[in-house]
Amino acid sequence: MSEILEITILGSGTSQGVPVIACDCHVCTSTDPKDNRLRASVLISHNNENYVIDAGPDFRYQMLREKVRSLRGVLFTHEHKDHIGGLDDVRAFNYRESRDMEVFCSKNVEEALHREYHYVFAENRYPGIPLIRVNTIGLEPFFLPSSLRVVPIEVMHYKMPVLAYRFFDFTYITDAKTIAQEEMEKIKGTKVLVVNALRISEHISHFNLQDALNLIHEIKPEKAYLTHISHLFGTNKEIEALLPTNVYVAYDGLKIEMEVNG
């Protein structure tokens, strides 16, 4: 039985976003809407249920822009602020849907959430704080509340473990620099791949363009999209001119639909 998996790019930028504060470069001053990049995040929609991967500082605006009326859960990739900084705003969904927000994350992220959002976990909680239920995950596949199967994939962000996620034949990878061969096996067979590509020049903790293209060449998806893009990379049009025919530049608001076998 065929179903539709819809992916919406909520943000395609780096930790600073694009434009960068106080920057006058040609990318940050571009008038092309595709060069406005919020912090990296995606919305996964399947069987009338919505999930987000990462809730960074732009989470509130991303939910408003895409008119998201219901959210079932949040999956975190890692504990950096540009990926967890918007969690407080899930309380709007708590009020609207009268339920706790399901959060799926590694033990490292769970510890970071306790530090950053200590008031959420306090014994005597202040009225109106976010209500979340943390589900600690490892590298074994698991199911979301709507029975959507998720395969976590460990990638390395320099020395920090980060979780990429696979849903059916769609894989989302951000903040990767290296991937062990055992984890690469989990990615093989992916038809649509979204992967980070920070810039053209080398970086210590992120794929650059060549790193991302090397991964795409090995996995051979039908389509690949570059995300987590820095203002140092270039404009959307400049990046497009550098890419093979099956590789595209992700941009905020991009929607990708896949027919999947449920």
The H-assigned helical ranges of 77-180 are: 81-84, 91-97, 107-116
- Could you tell me the fold of the domain covering 2-251? Metallo-beta-lactamase; Chain A (3.60.15)
C-alpha distances out from residue 60 to 11, 38, 115, 145, 156, Å: 12, 11, 21, 23, 28
Q: Say what the pLDDT of residue 220 is.
A: 98
Q: Say what the pLDDT of residue 125 is.
A: 84
Q: Say what the pLDDT of residue 126 is.
A: 86
Question: Residue 76, Cα to own-chain centre: how many angstroms?
Answer: 8
Domain ranges of the chain: 2-251
Q: Say what the pLDDT of residue 261 is.
A: 84
Its pTM stands at 0.97
Tens digit of each residue's pLDDT (9 = 90 or more) over 41-82? 999 999 999 999 999 999 999 999 999 999 999 999 999 999
Q: Which residues of the chain have pLDDT under 70?
A: 1
Contact 196, 176 (CB under 8 A): yes
Q: Say what the pLDDT of residue 54 is.
A: 98
The H-assigned helical ranges of 101-247 are: 107-116, 181-187, 209-219, 236-240
Q: Say what the pLDDT of residue 97 is.
A: 97
Q: Say what the pLDDT of residue 224 is.
A: 98
How far apart CA 257 and CA 70 sit, in angstroms, is: 19
